[in-house]
């Protein structure tokens, strides 16, 4: 499956998360994105070095700047279970704006055409690192990394696209 590109509509899909009452919930991407400007960024794995020290912190630090440019939601997706995503989110106590969503089986990542096979590294099939700027379900910017790079999918890169 080819990766999603600019001007395509994002597929719908259901992701899991824990709400403010610590209850496991499922939510549809379309319910979060319809009629809104959102950022969907994905990482190969929770608690991994680049993801934890650079990618996620950048979106947390730039959240106000992104919101000032009309961004309604900032979603972090990873092919991890919701319990791992909950634990990972707790490592960022200063975070108020980034939602951590679990794509446990990689179904949504597959629908986007953005899988990354890390079986040789013992991680199975995960997500490529990427950041999408989406307006009313249409992709306006698709910053998709090659391999293990972190060169085009940062919060700063998305700010330039706004």
CATH number at residue 67: 3.40.30.10
How many structural domains is the chain composed of?
1
Catalytic site residue 76? no
pLDDT tens digits in sequence order for the chain, 162 residues long = 789 999 999 999 999 999 989 999 999 999 999 999 999 999 999 998 888 899 999 999 999 999 999 999 999 999 999 999 999 999 999 999 999 999 999 999 999 999 988 878 877 788 999 999 999 999 999 999 987 799 999 999 999 999
In a domain, 146, yes or no: yes
Range of the domain at 125: 36-161
In a domain, 52, yes or no: yes
In a domain, 14, yes or no: no
DSSP string spanning the chain? -PPP-TTPBPPP-EEEEE-TTS-EEEEEHHHHHTTSEEEEEEES-TT-HHIIIIIHHHHHHTHHHHHHTT--EEEEEESS-HHHHHHHHTT-TT-SSEEEEE-TTSHHHHHHT-EEEEGGGT-EEEE--EEEEEETTEEEEEEE--TT--SS-SHHHHHHH-
pTM: 0.94
In a domain, 29, yes or no: no
**Which residue out of 15, 40, 43, 51 is catalytically annotated?**
51
């Amino acid at each position: 499956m080819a990766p999603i590109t600019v001007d395509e509509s994002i597929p719908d899909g259901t992701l899991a998360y824990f709400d403010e009452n610590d209850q496991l919930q499922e939510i549809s991407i379309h319910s979060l994105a319809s009629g809104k400007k959102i950022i969907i960024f994905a990482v190969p794995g929770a608690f991994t070095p680049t993801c934890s020290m650079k990618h996620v912190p950048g979106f947390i630090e730039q959240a106000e700047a992104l919101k000032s440019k009309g961004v309604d939601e900032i979603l972090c997706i990873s092919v991890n279970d919701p319990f791992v995503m909950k634990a990972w989110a707790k490592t960022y106590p200063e975070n108020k704006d980034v939602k951590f969503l679990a794509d446990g089986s990689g179904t949504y990542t597959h629908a986007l055409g953005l899988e990354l096979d890390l079986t040789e590294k013992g991680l199975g099939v995960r997500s490529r690192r990427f950041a999408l700027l989406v307006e009313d379900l249409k992709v306006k910017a698709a910053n998709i990394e090659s391999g293990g790079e972190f060169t085009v999918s940062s919060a700063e890169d998305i700010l330039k696209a706004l």
